[in-house]
Amino acid sequence: MARASWRERVAAERAQRVADSRTRVRRTVGHRDGARCEVLDASGTPRSLLNFCGNDYLGLSQHFAVVGALQDAAAREGAGGLGSHLVCGHHGLHDALERELADWLGAPRALLFGSGFLANLAVVQALLGDDDACVQDRLNHASLIDAARLAGCKLRRYPHADPEGAVRQLRSLPDGVAMLVTDGVFSMDGDVAPLRDLALVARVQNALLYIDDAHGVGVRGPDGRGSVAAAQLTTEQVPLQLATLGKALGGYGAAVLGDDDLIGHLAETARPYLYTTALPPAQAAASLAAVRLARSEHWRREKLDALVARFRERALHAGLELLPSDTPIQPVMCGDDARALAMAQRLEHDGYWVAPIRPPTVPDGRARLRVTLSALHGARDIDGLVDALARARDHDHDEAPARVAATG
């Protein structure tokens, strides 16, 4: 029997993505200046767009103190990490950052990773095996799903934000270590997990609760300490949580924080920690400066909250379909994949960069424009975006009959 052709498979899957309006195109940013990006079009011509699709929630990625810390440390320590943490790569700046993060988030200990994706792979694979189980929210980030699959454990998913569904899944599983895993703030819907209820479920079912709070740390809770702190939960109730350095803190990398014994176990056994190069010390210095700003400059969260409220009020008044989110992630629902693409293109024509999100990132029929807000934005930026969104919706409605005739 002839072996299947990889070329034919790649071509067939590409053709299917084209037919479903699900192709992905990488855009090149030539320069960033505050909330504006110089984006190159297909011909290489730069165009200035107001960015509403990044995750720089507190506007720290270009802050002079953060950039200055990066430059100073690079001048002293060089550009790279040069080794894994357990060989020769663990620098004093890494140690300082771990201590600062642990103090800020109220955890006994923190452990740095190269990315949130790596951190999630590390946690699940280091703690679960073939005889164990991982119960997850259906809308969890892809890294959490992949982590459970690669760990070889039993993966069960409960309906979104449904603690009773989590109970049913945990009760149905045999003996073995069980982990209950959820995003704190969901990256595509922008809503917040029912963490207090899930903490109760984990306690009753003797499961370890792990919270990926990539989109919550810096934005939610007292002093920006995240979703776990906002829910008034302790390390005893949430033994492990993830904080990213690449969103509200404006840098790169991530940290897992929590119970001292668990963090020690990860440091000695987690393959994505043991077998990869440590973050550059200069990047750790930049994140350390960003953490200190996030802890002290409360006005950034206050401004961000005001912008979120302004966007929701004006968007709902304009008749746009929003999801129930009070976070900087504000999805504008489109439903149809082609419609999401058309609206995003219309927005770009008007000078706004908003990402169209389509399956498989979101469920079928749930395509949307993922609007993300930053403390770098102003009130006039919000008003202009809402007006452009309403125009894009109305323009798409006018074009829909012609599009259906052309494709039907």
pLDDT 10s per residue in the chain (408 long)? 789 999 999 999 999 988 888 888 888 999 999 999 999 987 888 999 999 999 999 999 999 999 999 999 999 999 998 899 999 999 999 999 999 999 999 999 999 999 999 999 999 999 999 999 999 999 999 999 999 999 999 999 999 999 999 999 999 988 899 999 999 999 999 999 999 999 999 999 999 999 999 999 999 999 999 999 999 999 999 999 999 999 999 999 999 999 999 999 999 999 999 999 999 999 999 999 999 999 999 999 999 999 999 999 999 999 999 999 999 999 999 989 999 999 999 999 999 999 999 999 999 999 999 999 999 999 999 999 999 999 999 986 666 544 433 333
d(CA 99, CA 108): 9
End residue of a domain, out of 231, 261, 296: 296
End residue of a domain, out of 296, 322, 340: 296
d(CA 237, CA 198): 10
Cα–Cα distances (Å) from 92 to 95, 103, 263, 334, in that order, read 5, 16, 18, 48
Residue 331 lies in a domain: yes
Contacts of 324 (CB under 8 A, 6+ apart): 191
The tally of domains found in the chain comes to 2
Residue 141, annotated as binding a ligand: yes
Residue 5 lies in a domain: no
Which H or E element spans position 206?
A: none
Q: Which residues are catalytic?
A: 187, 215, 247
Mean of per-residue pLDDT scores for the chain: 94
Burial of 26: CB neighbours in 10 Å, binned 0-12, 13-18, 19+:
exposed
Residue 244, annotated as binding a ligand: yes
Residue 20 lies in a domain: no
Q: What's the CATH number where 118 sits?
A: 3.40.640.10
Residue 215, annotated as binding a ligand: yes
Enter the tokens of residue 265: 């176990």
Give the domain range for residue 237: 64-296
Residue 243 lies in a domain: yes
Is the bond preceding residue 360 a cis peptide, omega within 30 degrees? yes
Enter the tokens of residue 395: 């323009």
d(CA 58, CA 377): 10
Pair 31, 54 in one domain: yes
Pair 361, 350 in one domain: yes
Pair 316, 371 in one domain: yes
Cα–Cα distances (Å) from 330 to 118, 128, 139, 166, 316, in that order, read 26, 34, 16, 26, 12
CA atoms within 13 A on the CB side of 385: 31
Residue 6 lies in a domain: no
Cα–Cα distances (Å) from 120 to 115, 134, 185, in that order, read 9, 12, 15
Residue 183 lies in a domain: yes
Residue 12 lies in a domain: no
**What type of residue is 236?**
E
Pair 211, 250 in one domain: yes
Pair 79, 135 in one domain: yes
pTM of the model: 0.93
Q: What's the CATH number where 321 sits?
A: 3.90.1150.10
Pair 217, 122 in one domain: yes
d(CA 131, CA 213): 27
Among 379, 392, 395, 393, CA closest to 309: 379
d(CA 172, CA 307): 44
DSSP, collapsed to helix, strand or coil, labels residue 276 as coil
Q: Are 226 and 216 in contact (CB under 8 A)?
A: yes
Pair 252, 197 in one domain: yes
Pair 286, 302 in one domain: no
Residue 361, annotated as binding a ligand: yes
d(CA 41, CA 190): 29
Burial of 317: CB neighbours in 10 Å, binned 0-12, 13-18, 19+:
exposed
End residue of a domain, out of 240, 264, 296: 296
Pair 202, 266 in one domain: yes
Pair 148, 255 in one domain: yes
Pair 121, 192 in one domain: yes
Residue 392 lies in a domain: yes
Exposure string of 197-232, with b = 16+ CB inside 10 Å and e = fewer, is: bbbebbeebebbbbbbbbbbbbbbbeebbbbbbbbe
Pair 265, 314 in one domain: no
DSSP, collapsed to helix, strand or coil, labels residue 63 as coil
Residue 116, annotated as binding a ligand: yes
d(CA 140, CA 333): 19
DSSP 8-class letter at 251: S
